[in-house]
Structure 1
Amino acid sequence: MICQLLQLKKNTSLKIAIMKYAAIIFFLFISVVNYGQRPSAKNNGKFFDKNGNRMLYGGESNQHFTINNLDLKEEQFHYGLGRELFPALLEPDFETVTDADWKDEDRFLLAYKGDDIKAYSVRDLTRHEVVNDVIDGEPIFAAYCILADLGAIYKRTYSDKVFTFALSGYTYFDPKIWDGLDGFILWDRETESLWWPLIDKAVSGDLKGVRLQKLEDIYWEDTTWKVIKEKYPNAQVLISGQNFERPIRWKSYKDVSDIVKKYGND
């Protein structure tokens, strides 16, 4: 037993994963239990100026967001844990309904199109917040915000470009929207624009003003495990507890003016 513990201590990757998971649990705990005392991102120095640009802390020195055209109020941002803390999945793994173990009342987002049926538990989405996936050849992402109780399936393709979404580490509130509830701020890897799902659009970056695209209602639903077992026995179910090494670099789109023109609302 002692040898096993010593070996565990040497496993740096495992320790980092445990620390990240503990931070996520702590964040969710203080978000729900201590809702009235949410830490102000601005008061905690998450906004700063660098080389003539307005910046938002993103974790590591090369991960900060450039927010010169931010469409939100800085004083209404909360937290700022770093944009790679939550493990937004890039290549999710699934299991069969037979192999999965859930209670009948457990809540799921379910997507179905063509021959594909994908089930994402709200419990797992609370940890990942975003699961990038593909259904019937169409890139999508499943997202859930525990603070606003907002869950939906979105498209990831704009014109001929596919985007990858993740959580920024920030929440934002507006007293005039969703009864003033906090909602997670997302970002896309390809342009590093920020998105606020509570208003369904990008709020900074090259894609500012572009609308989030929900998958058509006929292709997804908010349901329970009991319904999935009875009506969708061939569904693929997201495996719990997944993690991955965050990418060091990723594809970048330099010119998205056609997307802004086609999908923007300004």
Structure 2
Amino acid sequence: MKTIGSILILLLSTSLIAQNRQRPVSVELGKFFNEDGKRLLYGGQKENQHFNVSNLSLEEDQFHYGLGREAFPALLKPKFTSIQKADKHWDDSDRFLVAKSGDEVKAYSIQDLTRHEIVNDKLNGKPIMAAYCVLADLGAIYKRDYGDKVFTFGLSGYTYYDPDIWDGKDGFVFWDRETESLWWPLIGKAVSGKMKGAKLHIYDKTNWEDTTWKQIKLKYPSAKILISGQDFERPSSWPQYQDVSDVKDL
């Protein structure tokens, strides 16, 4: 049995390596470049959209794609509807992330999260983020507040893999609008920029779950359901935090 198990692990590992090799490698696409003494990563057509990755802690040749920072509509002001109105759109087996705090419950379908990947939101007045990566099948609810500072997250347009982490699966790379640091959720921390080394804070696991539409209707009849098909005009600029030394290690 051990021999069979070892063979299966080897086959899975070989398959993942092959998949990663098939994906476009960012370095080979010229997405990393030097300018004015800085190491930059392409972030969009405008010069002010590139990421300063001079202090990057990841390997450049393990980045994939390079679509740009606003390619995915990571929601900033999500809209919701009631279970009664949403019920006609969902089957009982459809998968959701559900977060709760006090009397407020919010539900985000995996189908919608596959499109948005990130939903910046508030739950009972507290800033949270619902996120899902289809490549790694990683879904979670995170906190967005660090001390007195609130961070707003988006998709960088890149994925990253490490053969020794998460079974070598490719996983999305976040960025935050307030410092333009990059974050890799598969290791749960920022990997470049002012917030490098800061941890992603997963919301209290007793207050969120990965569940189905059927269970939501049974357990949370007053839940607010994310409306499908939302989009928005991407911001051209965003207020920046100049000093994060007081919150980086929280």
Shared fold, TM over 0.5: yes
Corresponding residue for 1:46?
31
Q: 2:165 is aligned with what amino acid?
A: I
Matches within 5 A, 1:222-241: 222-241=210-229
| Partner amino acid, structure 2, of 1:162 | V
Aligned length: 229
In structure 2, relative to structure 1, the CA distance for the partners of 1:84 and 1:66 (3 Å cut) is: same
Once the two structures are superposed, what CA deviation does each residue of 1:232-261 show, in whole Å capped at 9, x if it has no partner? 11000000000000011111100001112x
Q: Which residue of structure 1 lines up, in the alignment, with residue 114 of structure 2?
A: 126
Structure 1 residue 96 corresponds to structure 2 residue 82: yes
Structure 1 residue ranges without an equivalent (≥5): 1-33
Residue among 53, 64, 70 paired with 1:78: 64
Supply the distance in 2 between the matched residues of 1:90 and 1:124 (Cα, whole angstroms).
Answer: 14
Establish whether residue 209 from structure 1 lines up as the match of residue 197 from structure 2.
yes
How high is the TM-score relative to the length of structure 2?
0.90
- The 3-state SS of whatever aligns with 1:186 is strand
Provide the C-alpha distance between the structure 2 equivalents of 1:259 and 1:52, rounded to a whole number of angstroms.
Answer: 28
**Separation (CA, whole Å) in 1 of partners of 2:21 and 2:64:** 11
Shift of 1:36: 4.9
1:193 to 168, 181, 187: 181
**Percent identity (aligned):** 65
Q: In the alignment, residue 236 of structure 1 is paired with which amino acid?
A: K
User: TM-score when scaled to structure 1?
Assistant: 0.85
Partner of 1:90, secondary structure, is: coil
Q: CA deviation at 1:219?
A: 1.1
Q: Which residue of 2 aligns with 1:166?
A: 154
Q: CA deviation at 1:161?
A: 0.2
* 1-structure distance, mates of 2:139, 2:206: 16
Letter in 2 for 1:45: G
Displacement of 1:230 after TM fit?
1.1
Whichever residue aligns with residue 35 of structure 2, its letter is K
Cα distance, 1:57 vs. partner?
0.1
Q: 1:141 aligns with which of 86, 104, 129?
A: 129
Q: Quick one: which amino acid aligns to residue 36 of structure 2?
A: N
- Aligned match for 1:179, one of 167, 179, 196: 167
What are structure 2's unaligned runs of at least 5 residues?
1-18
Partner of 1:30: none
What do the CA deviations read for 1:68-123 (whole angstroms, capped 9, x no partner)?
10000000000000100100000000010000020000000000101110000000
Q: Which residue of 2 aligns with 1:156?
A: 144
Q: Give every structure 1 segment of 4 or more consecutive aligned residues whose post-TM-superposition deviation is greater than 4 Å.
A: none
